[in-house]
Amino acid sequence: MKSLEQNLCKVCQYGGIILVGLVICFLAFYNLEYYPTTWFDDGWHLLASKELASTGRYVLGPAAGPTLFISIAAMFRVAGVGILQARLVMAAYLLLTICGFYILARRLHNARTAMVAMLLLISSPGVDLIRWGRQALGEVPAALFFLAGSLVWFKAIEGKQEKGRLILVGILLGLAILTKNQLLLIVPAWLVLWFADRVYFRRCTHSSFLLPLLSAFSCVAAWYVGQRFLFSAGQQLAQRNVEEWVGSLSRGILTLSPRRALDAIKLLTGQDAFYAWALPAWLYAALMSLRRNKVDLRQALLASVVAVWFSWFVLFSVGWPRYAFLPLTLSAIFVAWLFHDLTDGFRLPAKELWAAARAGQWDVAATGRLALLALLAIMIVRPLQARFGEVIGQMDTSPQAMAAYITAHVEPEAKIETWEPEICFLTGYKCHFPPMQAMDAAIKYVWYDAPPPSAWYDFLQYDSQYLLIGDFGQWTHLYDPALVQQHCEWLVSIGNYELYRIKESD
């Protein structure tokens, strides 16, 4: 009888794993071309990957990196150019990231906690893993390299702290930084942990921190130096890198706004951040990491990354939810760990409640555990339903429809003024994009109530024959409606896109 029960438990366990795997694959691959609708960032990266695949020119700066563009460009060369081809690459990154996340959570805790953390991760609207992971964006691949680097570091500090493993840690962290420049925040977190180990934990040598740090910087430096020799436009690309780093510092990395700080705090203490459990769970993880052993030093690494990143997110960033992607991803482990300990390993207190009911008593502790398990179920099931609804219900084909209209009705040699790069990717038409200063002005306008870019940007001076305005152009108020009405002839509206012919006399 006992053997039969054990076999049934194993069947249920493996069945649950298979079911979760099928759910993840469905969310990663179903309706891949149309959910989410392609937009500015996605289109910009697709356009850069297409250029790399067709001409060998690397044209984008440090916002996202070679691990993203080279992978997608390789797919374009093998399977042709298209949104679906690019998103197949991103879906592969997404699956690898989820696997890496599960392995790391299990290495820190146990299989149950890792499974709950993974379900919290894929369902959380604050993380929004499925939306960001299916697009040509750097967040998910960068998280993959960070998770891989963390796992290798965990292994390295267990034994003799081999130099080879520590160098590999640095390479993986360097790739994470190259994939998404915001992961430079790993560096101050790494230094915080190094200091904490010297004065408190005393479990590692200096080389456990110094070698990965040097390797990471060497990896990043090698890429930027190598651009001058790998690509024909290396000099211009180096200059663009400098300009983008300076611009990003001023517009989103090192800014200070009480209003934006309040919005960031609202996100971290709201329903989207695991029903406001993100910060309490981080505090619990930080306190539990204070025990002096290498197991807790691993947890301290994640806690320090989350602490440094949340501090930057609140104090110095524009507070856009996507900027909190990595710390919220790691917070899913903390939340699962906290609920595991509060509910006695996610165990339903059925026997305790039944015994109390038969005795005519009320078991407060058992009732509390049941309430927490019910809350945890709500935290997973309700957002997961929303994720399914988004994946199944999103069928906005307006970018493809507008691209088809342009291909059919606009002369091939025409130049289009626009800030919707996804349409330029889909059509292959020559497009003129606003200068980099427009992005700085747009962010200040959207987030800090500065004058709109249309106050100084004159699109008529660039000799374009057509003007295309979509969501991003409207959101940033790049094109003055009065100028558009005076100098342009409306042709068609498809979805939120509007196509105009610029009058020849102008």
pTM reported for the whole predicted model: 0.94
Q: What is the pLDDT of residues 131-141, one digit of tens each?
A: 999 999 999 99
Q: Is the peptide bond before 435 cis (omega within 30 degrees of 0)?
A: no
Sheet holding 466-469, edge to edge: 430-432, 415-418, 466-469, 497-502, 488-494
- 414's CB contacts (< 8 A; 6+ apart) are 429, 430, 465, 466
Give every residue of the chain whose pLDDT is below 70, as ranges: 1-13, 61-62, 160-161, 231-255, 505-506
Which pLDDT score, from 0 to 100, does residue 234 have? 57
Which pLDDT score, from 0 to 100, does residue 264 have? 94
Q: Residue 180 has what DSSP assignment?
A: B
Which pLDDT score, from 0 to 100, does residue 107 have? 95
Distance CA 451, CA 477 (A): 9
Which pLDDT score, from 0 to 100, does residue 506 have? 47
Classify residue 19 as exposed, middle or buried by CB count within 10 Å of its CB (0-12, 13-18, 19+): exposed
Contact 416, 464 (CB under 8 A): yes
Amino acid at site 51: E
First-last CA distance in the chain? 88
Contact 88, 304 (CB under 8 A): no
CA distances from 447 to 82, 87, 313 (A): 33, 30, 14
Q: Which residue has the tokens 């747009």?
A: 442
Distance CA 383, CA 321 (A): 16
Which pLDDT score, from 0 to 100, does residue 360 have? 78
